[in-house]
Each structure stands twice: as structure tokens, then as C-alpha cells.
Amino acid sequence: MKKIEILSPCGGFDSVIAAARSGADAVYIGAKELSARAGAQNFDEDEIKKTVQYCHIRGVRVYVTVNTVVFDSELEKAKEVITLCAKAGVDALIVQNMGIASLAKKIAPELPLHASTQMSVHSPSGAKLLYEQGFKRVVLARELSREEIIEIAESCPIELEVFVHGALCMSVSGQCYFSAVIGSRSGNRGRCAQTCRLPFKIGKSKYALSLKDNSIIDYIRDLEEIGVASAKIEGRLKRPEYVAAATRACVESRDNGAVDEKTKENLESVFSRTGFTDGYYTSKRGYEMFGYRRKDDVVSATPKLLSEIKNSYKDELKRVDISAEFFAAIGEKAKLKISDGKNKVEVISEESCEKAEKVKIGEEKIRTQLLKTGGTPYNIVELIINAEENISLRMSALNKLRRDALDLLGEKRANAKSYKINKIKIPEINPHKAEKKLYYARFNGASIGTGFKSFDLCFVPVNTEISKVKDLVKSGFKIGIEIPRALFSREEKVISKLKEFKDIGLNDVLCNSLAAVYIAKELNLRIHGGFGLNLTNTLDLNWARKTGFTDTELSFELTLNQAEKLGGDIPRGVISFGYLPVMLVRNCPNKSADADCKNCSGSGKMKDRLGKTFIFYCDGYASEVLNNVQVEEINEVRHSKNIDISFFRFSVENSVENVENIADFISDCLNSTEKTHGLLKRGVF
């Protein structure tokens, strides 16, 4: 069984040192740009090179995050970042979108790709799609249970990376738009304002969107047995002492089967939100998972504690085992050979050995001096000495021989990675021109007003009764099926239902996840991409076309101007009407008030600190939190020459079934005072 990797977060080089000296097998860092933690110190080109060399000398792998959505105006910058990472010899890139993945493959085909947790992979089909697309590893969604991780692990050979400690976003990563919609600070671009940590009131609960930090460190050996490749610690925004404490706890759990009580105490004191939770992994979702940062949590990280933790990694960790062989003969220069099992070096002394007149250098003295590897990460586990009797060699010469050999070995280890790098040019992007105006609508059920018969497609949920869908088709509606954004453990049920719909002639499906895309391809259905795929640039759209999409909805984090400038030939659209879904959550906000699912209507309301009401509704597997005001940009989208499709999104409207005339409905919408432009005008940072 392969040993599970301990992967540590590093926002700056001080954290790299803390991680390496605390036993991390790998670190992940962000470049100065296009990193999902824009608030971290992050690394420029020289710092990335320095980090790679420092880590590779110590046998630590380095992964670089290029895990934000990328706009067309940033593609040149993305090319530069990918190229510098390849030149630096990083061990993998962590990417969020498929367009950037395709760009990376063109630039450095041999550079391994890891799919960021922001790709929202939470079921087997998503992992299968990424494996087919050439990804080496996928970072799974944090909301998965042990059983669901096993299901994915058994589904395909792709490596799995699981978060074992750190902050829990309320929303499935990659599916949170709250910060963007409220203040234009996009979590998908590393600028999350942590809206979920603010007060949201449901009953007696004041923090309905704030979860305790995740910690499944005690289950690391279990994850290893399941076949998980990497145990990942969250926290690139946190201090080096946190990185050291979390790394040490993970290493102890893996290597010893348990975490020392003092290590546990340090970890909880350095950062927590009233303790930790393992609720997702153990399938115990509910009230106990909620928590927020209190005064006691803040003051527990005392200067004394931080100093103690810092002192624990002040010295190098002897983590690289090497063998050495020493040669010395009278009249000849001394020689030292060193090997780490892969790299071999040989150094020769500047002066020759002489016959000892008074004091000879014996084998024990030679051994003592050569084994002095303090201040380095090397541990000489085998030393062979071939030295004649009665030789004399200055101690300084012997020490220099050892230092030079270790330095030379370090140089070889530091520059171990080399990738073929292709020089490519980002092609000139010519804006797409819409040939035909289409209208699509998405509904929460089968109650649809007759006016929507004029729409080109009306998507209904996959769990809609077959008989009701048949009635809609019979009465003249053009029906498609929406695959749920949150699949988790229900893929087989969804696939079975889709086959039933296909049998009655329904072949159009709305896909908001990579898993949905894979399922649709396997069933030979027509793929209509949804906003949840976060398609934001021309390369994303080219990937969608190549993958077999019929058309796609763009990310609603784009402005209309940005959307109109996108290239590619695939038809595309934007949400022109409806309540934007700002969060996709697995642990329902109602649970923060200790609500019981048995007595729940499947929906709920909460109020923010300004008294605004936000609605959310549940399908039994996950909940969507909606913005408090609906988007209405119908005219602007309709008159755009470059946008093919107007998407109408109906989530909470009870009057949709009464719509008899679309023109009247649109007129009423245009005259409404409760509306927003969404992000179509102001966009995101």
C-alpha cells in the first residue's frame, strides 16, 4: 500500500520552511496572479524557483495553484505563469478550469495537472471525465462522506486528494457566488470576502452559514487504506506556526496511528472556530457542524504558544537518507562519493594525504567528521571507509570534502525536474456572432404557464414524474431535463431516470457539473452547459465545443461586455432573468437552528445583518441559496448581437404556471422595481 502524502499550504516562504521541517511530503503555493488565495503573500518567479529548489533538495514536492477562473484578457498572463512553473520544475499545476488545462497541455505536455476542488467534483463521473481528459489527480469536494470517497476511488485510477484539516466553506467550492454578487469580490478569483462568516439569522441561530473547521486528521490511516493519494491541509492565508502544527499532527496520525495530545492542543489553540468537525466524513451532518470565531478562539494563540511551535521547527529535519564511501591513500587526494539512491556525486580533496609523522587520522575520527551533517536535511545511513593506515589529512580538508559533496548533491536534487516546453501564441480572438436568438427556461417543477410553449427549451428537474413530462410534451412544450448540480451519492438514480426520459424521446440535458457532462456523453444526450461549469474564457468555450456541447450558459460572473467579446463558435447565453443561486450547500442552513428534516417543507428563509431576506430550497441532497433580488436584463441580452441564448431561471415563483403570454410577462418584468443587473454590468474583481 502506497504511503499517503501529507500536503501542506504555504502562503509565503516562511511557511515552506515550517512545512518541510515539520514533515510535509509536498506543499502547494500560489503564484502572484491567478491564485484562489489572492490575499496570501504568494510567490513571484524567483520565489517559485527558490521554493522548488529548497523543497526538491529535501524530497518535498511542489504544486502551484493556477486555480481561478480566467478572463480572455488574462490568457497571456496565464501562459506566462504556466511557462515559468514548467521552467522552475514544479511537480504539478492545480487548475480550476478546462480552458487553462488545455493551455497547460499545449505549453508543457508532461507537466502533471491536478483538478482543483473548485471543479466541484463530488461523484464518480466527475472523476472519470477528468481522468479521460488527462488529469493525474483530483482534489475532491469537502462535503463527501467516507462511503462516497470509496465510491469515487473504486470508479477510476485517478489520484484522489482529500482535505483533512482547515476551514470549511459553507458552499461547495467553485459553486459559491455570494461574495461576488454582494460586493463583486469573486471567490472563484481568489477574492472571497467571507460573506458566510457574517451573521445570518434563522430562529435562534445567528450564524446560519458558518461551519466549524474541518478536521479528519484522526482518519488519515483510513484514507490511506481507501486509496487516497494525498491528505491536504487548508490554510494558505494562515501563519507558518499553523502550518507547522497541522503538518506535524498529520504526520503523527499517519506514522504513529494517533496524534500526541500536546500536538492536538497546539493545533486547536493556534486556530479554530470553537473546535472542529468531522461531520461530512462521518455522515453526521447537522447542528454540531456549525460554529464561528469567538474571542476565546482568537486569544488562545498566545505569543508563548506561537514561540513554542516556531521553536519546534528551528532545526532541519533529517529526511533524506544517503550512503557515502570515503577513499584515502598516502600520496593521493582523498575522495568522497555520496548517493541518495538516484543521484551520485564524487568530490576530491584539494590536498593529498600524507604519511602521519606524529598524529594519524584514524577511522573513527574520519567517521565522526563525515557523519556531521547538522544544518542539512541529510542523514548518512551507510558509510564505507577505505583508508590506509597511518595517513594524515587536515580536519578542515575532511570537513570541506563533506560540505562540498553535500552541496553538489543538493544541486543535483534541486534541478531534478525538466519538462519539454513549447512556445505557443495565444490566438487572436474574434468575437462570436449570434446567428439565431434562442430562449431557454429552467423550472423547479412541471407547473409551467402556456406562454412558455414559445421557448426553444424548458428544462425541468430530473426527479419530475414521467407522466407529467409526457403531458407537457403532448401539450406543445419543448422539454429538456436538468441534471442536479449536486449529485453526491445519487448518480445511479439520476442515470436510470435519464434513460427513462430518453426512451420517450427527450435528449436535451442541462449540465452544471463535470459529472453531468460525463453522464450525458455516456448516454449520448445533447449537452447544454450550465453556469455551474464556470466557463469564462474563449479556451473554455473551445473545450466545451470539442467535448461535444450543443451550447452553453456562461458564468454569470462575466459582464455582458466580456461575454460579447468571447470567441469560439459554440452558441452561448447568459441568465437574463431570475434569482441568482449564490450558494450550493450540503449542510442545510436550517440545521444551524437544529431543525429536523422530517418536519421541513424543503425550503427556508434567513436574514442578514441588514434585514434582507434570502431564500433557500432543498432537493433532499443539497440546498441552493438564492440572492434576495432577481436579475432582469431581458432587453439587454435580447438585443446583444453576440449572445445566442437568453436563460430564464425560475426557482421560487409560484405564478409561472399562470403565464399565458410571454410578451406580457416580460413587460411586467421590465416594469418591476425589485430587480438587479446582477453582475452583467459591474462584474467581479
> CA-CA distance, 495 to 498, in Å (whole number)?
5
Provide the mean pLDDT of the chain.
95
How many Cα atoms sit within 13 Å of 659 on the Cβ side? 23
More confident: 23 or 671: 23
Neighbours of 300 (CB within 10 A): 15
Residues 427 and 437 sit within 8 Å (Cβ to Cβ) = no
What pLDDT was estimated at residue 275?
Answer: 84
What does the pLDDT look like over 332-375, one tens digit per residue? 999 999 999 999 999 999 999 999 987 888 899 999 999 999 99
Q: Which three cell numbers stand for residue 261?
A: 495530545
Distance of CA 17 to the CA centre of its chain: 23
Q: List the alpha helices (DSSP H) in 577-640.
A: 634-638
Full set of structural domains in the chain with CATH: 5-168+212-283 (3.20.20.380), 320-414 (no CATH), 438-579+630-670 (3.20.20.70)
What does the pLDDT look like over 121-180, one tens digit per residue? 999 999 999 999 999 999 999 999 999 999 999 999 999 999 999 999 999 999 999 999
pLDDT band at 653 (very low <50, low <70, confident <90, very high): low
DSSP codes, 490-550 = GHHHHHHHHHHHHHTT--EEEE-SHHHHHHHHHTTPEEEE-GGG---SHHHHHHHHHHTEE
The three-state secondary structure class of 128 is helix
- Looking up cell 412544450 gives 477
Q: At what angle do helices 13-21 and 240-256 cross, to 10 degrees?
A: 20
Q: List the alpha helices (DSSP H) in 451-490.
A: 466-474
pLDDT band at 550 (very low <50, low <70, confident <90, very high): very high
What pLDDT was estimated at residue 99?
Answer: 97
What does the pLDDT look like over 552-561, one tens digit per residue? 999 999 999 9
> CA-CA distance, 188 to 170, in Å (whole number)?
14
How many Cα atoms sit within 13 Å of 72 on the Cβ side? 20
Q: At residue 642, does pLDDT exceed 90?
A: yes
What does the pLDDT look like over 274-283, one tens digit per residue? 889 999 999 9
What does the pLDDT look like over 225-261, one tens digit per residue? 999 999 999 999 999 999 999 999 999 999 999 999 9
What pLDDT was estimated at residue 652?
Answer: 75
What does the pLDDT look like over 611-637, one tens digit per residue? 999 999 999 899 999 999 999 999 999
What pLDDT was estimated at residue 294?
Answer: 84
What does the pLDDT look like over 260-274, one tens digit per residue? 999 999 999 898 888
pLDDT band at 91 (very low <50, low <70, confident <90, very high): very high
Residue 111 identity: L
Of 230, 406, 224, the closest CA to residue 318 belongs to: 406
Q: At residue 463, does pLDDT exceed 90?
A: yes
pLDDT band at 602 (very low <50, low <70, confident <90, very high): confident
What does the pLDDT look like over 196-212, one tens digit per residue? 999 999 999 999 999 99
What pLDDT was estimated at residue 654?
Answer: 64
pLDDT band at 415 (very low <50, low <70, confident <90, very high): confident
pLDDT band at 290 (very low <50, low <70, confident <90, very high): very high
Residue 330 identity: I
